[in-house]
Amino acid sequence: MRFYLFFLFFCAQIFAFGQNTSKEDSIKIKREVEIKQRVQEILKYRKEQCSKDSLKAVEEAKTVNKYFINIVSPNGSDFPAKKGLESYLKNIGIIWGGTWMGNCFGTYSYNACYYQYMNQLTEEKFGKELIDGLVKKSLLDYIDKEPSAIFKYNDNFDLLYDENDFSGDKLINNYFFKDFTYPKGYEASKEKNQSFTEVELDFNDDTQKLSVENFKHHIDNNHNKQFIPYFEKKIRNFIKSRNFVNIEHSRYEVKTYFKIYYK
């Protein structure tokens, strides 16, 4: 008798568990269906709006050409050379449209496709290489006026970096070697980037200035190691000679590490 009671109780538990599992599965399936429907609605809306944007761009491009800069979402750096770029574009008959930012959610962003299509149509008419060159030129002009920019993190400066240089070291090197003369007797390396100096900087919050904190030298030619004091002096002078910080900087915006590569 006890065995049958236990058996009945055991079966009841299994049945109840099965009912609960079935209910949970049903809710899960329902949610998945709702999510799928919502995604389809979003994609449909995005496609419709993008189609309207593209038609608008095509129609406007018949009489005017505009160019926009896309800022990285969600917290990308603003494009610093707006005035310079606007002037360069105007000289060749392109209207500076300003900046725009999409979103990270994959949903439709207001006028996003319009900006993209207008840029594409403008590049097709005037040449992408020409416009890219003007964007880079405007950024370099900006840096010439504000040298401190080379030590400030800005997504837009990535346009000036080589595909193998995401740190911005090349940009810093370009400015360093403008006023640098190799010492007499220096022997160039046979391979590129084999000799370099790692430079660590300190940013003073009170004075808003950068200063050299430490050097680490990697010189592949023992003969050239005698010039290490000379390299250090030139790097220190480089940091001191330019206004590499301004009131717009904060500790978290300033690069405090870079490399100087010798020939």
- Residues 64-110: tens digit of each pLDDT: 999 999 988 777 788 999 999 999 999 999 999 999 887 655 566 67
At 158, the pLDDT band (50, 70, 90 cuts) reads confident
Q: Domain of residue 196: give its range.
A: 150-262
pTM of the predicted protein model:
0.72
- Give the distance, in angstroms, between the CA of residue 129 and the centroid of all CA atoms in the same chain: 20
Looking at the structure of the chain, the number of domains it has is: 2
> Could you say which of 145, 169, 195 is where a domain stops?
145
Same domain, 136 and 63: yes
What average pLDDT does the structure give for the chain? 83
* Inter-residue contact 113 to 54 (CB < 8 Å): yes
Same domain, 57 and 101: yes
> DSSP characters for 185-209?
T----SSTT-EEEEEEEEEETTTTE
Bridge partners, 201 (sequence order) = 212
Domain assignment present for residue 76? The answer is yes
Which tokens is 148 given? 């401190």
At 56, the pLDDT band (50, 70, 90 cuts) reads very high
Inform me whether the pLDDT recorded for 53 exceeds 90. no
Kind plus residue range of the DSSP H or E element containing 188? none
Pairing type for strands 195-204 and 257-262 reads antiparallel
Q: CA 213 → CA 9, 46, 168, 171, 232, distances in Å?
A: 76, 52, 19, 21, 11
Q: Could you tell me the maximum CA-CA distance found in the chain, to the nearest angstrom? A: 107
Same domain, 154 and 215: yes
Kind plus residue range of the DSSP H or E element containing 121? helix 112-126
Domain assignment present for residue 60? The answer is yes
Listed residue (168, 173, 152, 194) closest to 238, CA to CA: 173
Counting residues of the chain whose pLDDT is more than 70, the rounded percentage is 76
What does the pLDDT read at residue 106?
56
pLDDT digits (tens, 9 = 90+) for 4-38: 444 445 455 554 555 556 666 677 776 776 666 66
